[in-house]
Structure formats: C-alpha cells, structure tokens
Amino acid sequence: MIRQYELIEKIKSYDPDADEDLINRAYVFAMQAHGAQKRASGDPYFSHPVEVAYRLTDLKLDTASIVTALLHDTVEDTEVTLEDIEAQFGKEIRGLVDGVTKLSRLEGKSENSKQAENFRKLLIAMSEDLRVLLVKLADRLHNMETLKHIKNPEKRQRIAKETVDIYAALAERIGMRHLKDELQDLAFAELYPEARESIVRRMEFLRAQGAADLEKTVSIIRDKLADAGLPHAEIYGREKRPFSIWKKMETKNISFEQLSDIIAFRIVVNDIQECYQALGAIHAEWHTIPGQFKDYISTPKPNGYQSLHTAVLGPGQHRVEIQIRTRQMEELAEMGV
C-alpha cells in the first residue's frame, strides 16, 4: 500500500505549491471514514482511494483532484455526507466528490450498446469538470487491476464489458490514450483470456524475430525522409497493444499465424504537401501492402479525422503501419474535437 509521504512526495515533484495540509487531512479523513472496511482482495478498503489518487499523480493533476480521489467513495460507501465534505474541504471539493458519486450511481445500468451510448453521453454531461471524469477513470483502472478478486464470474464480465464500452471509449474521446489502452487490455484479459494469450505469445515470437525494433526502424525512416527533403519530420514509433491487434484481426479476419505487424509509426510534418512528399518517399523505398493505403486527408473521416495511412514491408521485410499527418491534424486526433 502506498504511504502518505510517498503520495505527498510524488505530488510535490511536479507541483511544489500543492496544498500538503489539505491532502494530509483528506488522507486521514478517508482512512477514518472507511475504517475497517475491506476490499474483495482482503486489503483495507482505504488502500483503494489511495491507489486511485496515486494514479492521478501520474497525470500530474492538481491538489483538488488528488483530494477528490482520496474522498471519492466516502459519500457512497460510508456515513460521510456531502455537507461533511464541504465543512472540511470547501465547496470546490464538495462539487467534485458529488460529481464522482453521481457517476458511480449510474454504473451497472447499461445492458446494451444503445444504453452504453446514452450512458457515455450522460457521463460527459454530468462531468462538466473534466477532473470528475479523470477521477472516475482512475477509479475504474484500479478496479480493473484488482478485478480478479471478485469471485462472481458474471459480475467480472459485466464490469469488463462496461469498461470497454464506456470508460475506454470515454478515455479515448478526451484524448487519454494511455488510460484507454490500459483499460482495454485489462478488460480483454477478462473477456477473452485465450485470444489475448495467443496474441501475446505471437507478439513475443515476432519480437524475437526483430519485428519490433522501434529505434532502428525510426532511424531508417528518418534517414529516408531527410533524403527526400524532410529532415524536420517528427517520427514516433510504438508497439501495438494486444487489444487493438485483436480488434483488427476480427474486422479483417486475420488468423494468429498471419498476424505479422506489431509496430506502428506516425510521421508528423508541417503541411499537406509534405504529407504526400513523405508518403512518396516511403512508397519509393518499401513495397506497399495492397489494400492498406487510405487517404483521409482528401476524404476525412466523419469526425473530422485526417491522415494518410499506409502499410509497407519495411526494414528486414517486417510489416509496418505508418500514419502521416500535419501537426494540426495530430492535435485534433490526439485531443479530440
């Protein structure tokens, strides 16, 4: 369990002006409120709000968010009232805790996808303050990380499904890509453990074949783009996540043996003309994979998304996916509309 001083030190590392006294008071308040309550894991219940708060420090959130995370289950699960919260921590914190409590009460009420869509809309409308949503997402992340302790399999499945349909989708919409990936993969492990295991094993095999050498591939692409007059192009490489690979296998009907591309690259340049220039340089160097080229610059997606997508047999004959876009397109794609 994370100690009080560890939490404080972490916050101070990115926010030296954080209100240490307020955080300490919230820590003690929540600890006393949850008292002897236990989690399904047998851990003291209080370890949960502390873990949620700690996850928010990874996002460098402000004092009020951290305090809200510490208090987030007190109104729902203990004798504490919103009036108590306001008296102790002020109006701002009361508002935030109230928001999280309301969202928690909506859970488990979305049986089909139509309801899930309504639930998502409701969540967004109810969380006028983005911090409410972030506390809720961190709450769900920790609950997913400890899901295995819940004994009822149907309950685990329902929570995992809700996580994909609602929370991961929300995280994506507000541009929290890392959170989205974590939530999806944790849910994937619960919903389709065998499929996930097969993908993870295949990824290990491909990695051993050198198919995931990100740095080397980035530097080769960088050289080719520099030769083509684009020395300033930014190149980002990442290994794909098991869940997104699974989604793609499903929609494209790919078998595990056929699964070959596990890394993806993004090239960010200054303007649209440079996008096509970069695409030309890539296609001149490596064989393209038929049917993989999509021009979402001349024909944007309905949500406004723009990029060039292609896939080539890259260095070492390993299949790689590449997206090419301008800085402005990048901001839109990452941050949402």
Rounded distance, CA 320 to CA 318, Å? 6
Nearer of residues 73 and 185 to Mn ion, judged by Cβ: 73
Nearer of residues 73 and 182 to Mn ion, judged by Cβ: 73
Active site residue 76: yes
**Min separation Cβ 215 and Mn ion, Å:** 39
Rounded distance, CA 67 to CA 89, Å? 9
Nearer of residues 73 and 181 to Mn ion, judged by Cβ: 73
Residue 320, phi then psi, degrees to nearest 5: -130, 145
Using the rule CB under 5 A, is 51 a contact of Mn ion?
no
- The answer to whether 313 touches 286, Cβ cutoff 8 Å, is yes
Pattern of binders to Mn ion over 134-173, x per CB under 5 A? -----x----------------------------------
Pairing of strands 263-269, 319-326: parallel
Tokens found for residue 213: 């050498």
Question: Judged by CB under 5 A, how many residues of this single chain contact Mn ion?
Answer: 2
Instruction: State the residue for tokens 């402005």.
Output: 328
Residues 57-76, interacting with Mn ion (CB under 5 A): 73
**Min separation Cβ 77 and Mn ion, Å:** 8
With CA atoms as reference, report the closest residue to 273 among 301, 222, 235, 233. 233
Residues 120-139, interacting with Mn ion (CB under 5 A): 139
Rounded distance, CA 307 to CA 292, Å? 13
With CA atoms as reference, report the closest residue to 280 among 314, 310, 300, 321. 310
Residue 237, phi then psi, degrees to nearest 5: -120, 145
> Of 19, 77, 86, 172, which is the active-site residue?
77
DSSP letter string, 61-77 = --HHHHHHHHHTTHHHH
Instruction: Name the closest residue to Mn ion (Cβ).
Output: 139
Kind plus residue range of the DSSP H or E element containing 216: helix 214-227
Residues 229-288, interacting with Mn ion (CB under 5 A): none
Nearer of residues 73 and 321 to Mn ion, judged by Cβ: 73
**Min separation Cβ 78 and Mn ion, Å:** 12
Active site residue 295: no
Rounded distance, CA 37 to CA 270, Å? 55
Instruction: State the residue for tokens 């596990």.
Output: 262
**Min separation Cβ 255 and Mn ion, Å:** 40
**Min separation Cβ 179 and Mn ion, Å:** 16
**Min separation Cβ 68 and Mn ion, Å:** 11
| Contacts for 47 with CB less than 8 Å, ≥ 6 apart | 1, 2, 39
**Min separation Cβ 124 and Mn ion, Å:** 20
Nearer of residues 100 and 230 to Mn ion, judged by Cβ: 100
> Of 9, 58, 76, 334, which is the active-site residue?
76
Q: Cβ–Cβ contacts within 10 Å for residue 119, how many?
A: 20
Rounded distance, CA 228 to CA 248, Å? 32
171 class by beta-carbon count within 10 Å (0-12 exposed, 13-18 middle, 19+ buried): buried
> Looking at the annotation, which residues are catalytic?
76-77
Q: Rule CB under 5 A: which residues touch Mn ion? A: 73, 139
